C-alpha cells in the first residue's frame, strides 16, 4: 500500500514537472512544510502511544496475576487494594490516551492549516502585480494552483499542459 502511494506521488510529480515545470514548482513549495508538520505529529503521537501501551500492559499484567491467584487475593482480603492498583493503571492509560488524541488533533490542525492557508506562498513566489488582487477567500493550496495556472494561461501557456499539471 505504501509503495502504491509513493509511486503515485512520484509519478504525478514527474508528470507535473514534464508538463509545466513553473506551476509544479509553485505547488510544490508547501511540500516541506507538510513533511515537517507530519513528522513532528508522528513523533509526539508515537511517544504518547508507547507510554499508553506500557500503562495498558501494566494493567493487563496485574489483572492476569490477580485472576491466576484469585483464591490468594480473596483469602488475604486484598481485593480493594488490587482493584485500586488496576484502576490506577487504567487511569494512566486513559490520561496518556487523551494526551495522544490532543497531539494528533493539534498535528492535524497544523497540517490542514498548512494546506488550506498557503496563500502567503503565492506572495513569495509570484512577482506579478495580480498576486495582490487575490481575494482572501482563496486561502488554500488548490486556489494557489488554480490562480497561478490561470496566470500562466493568460500569459499564453498551454491550457492543456496546465490542466494536466493540476490533475497530476
Task: Note the pLDDT tens digit of each residue in 46-73.
Answer: 999 999 999 999 988 988 888 888 877 7
Which pLDDT does position 93 carry in this prediction? 92
Residue 76: half-sphere exposure toward Cβ, Cα within 13 Å: 8
Domain coverage including residue 81: 18-167
* Any domain includes 34: yes
Which pLDDT does position 48 carry in this prediction? 93
Which pLDDT does position 126 carry in this prediction? 53
Q: How many domains does the chain have?
A: 1
- How buried is residue 105: exposed, middle or buried, by Cβ count under 10 Å (0-12/13-18/19+)? exposed
The CATH number of the domain where 115 resides is what? 1.20.1560.10
CA–CA distance from 126 to each of 55, 68, 135 (Å)?
51, 70, 15
Average predicted confidence (pLDDT) for the chain: 79
Amino acid at each position: 500500500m505504501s509503495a502504491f502511494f509513493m509511486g503515485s506521488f512520484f509519478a504525478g510529480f514527474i508528470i507535473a514537472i514534464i508538463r509545466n515545470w513553473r506551476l509544479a514548482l509553485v505547488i510544490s513549495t508547501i511540500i516541506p512544510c507538510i513533511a515537517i508538520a507530519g513528522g513532528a505529529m508522528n513523533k509526539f503521537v508515537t511517544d504518547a502511544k508507547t507510554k499508553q501501551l506500557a500503562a495498558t500492559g501494566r494493567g493487563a499484567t496485574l489483572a492476569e496475576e490477580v485472576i491466576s491467584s484469585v483464591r490468594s487475593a480473596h483469602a488475604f482480603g486484598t481485593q480493594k487494594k488490587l482493584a485500586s492498583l488496576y484502576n490506577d493503571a487504567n487511569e494512566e492509560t486513559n490520561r496518556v490516551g487523551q494526551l495522544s488524541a490532543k497531539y494528533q488533533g493539534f498535528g492535524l490542525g497544523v497540517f490542514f492549516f498548512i494546506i488550506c492557508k498557503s496563500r502567503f506562498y503565492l506572495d513569495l513566489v509570484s512577482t506579478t502585480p495580480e498576486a495582490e488582487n487575490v481575494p482572501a477567500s482563496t486561502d488554500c493550496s488548490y486556489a494557489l494552483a488554480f490562480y497561478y495556472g490561470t496566470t500562466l494561461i493568460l500569459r499564453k501557456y498551454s491550457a492543456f499542459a496546465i490542466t494536466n499539471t493540476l490533475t497530476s
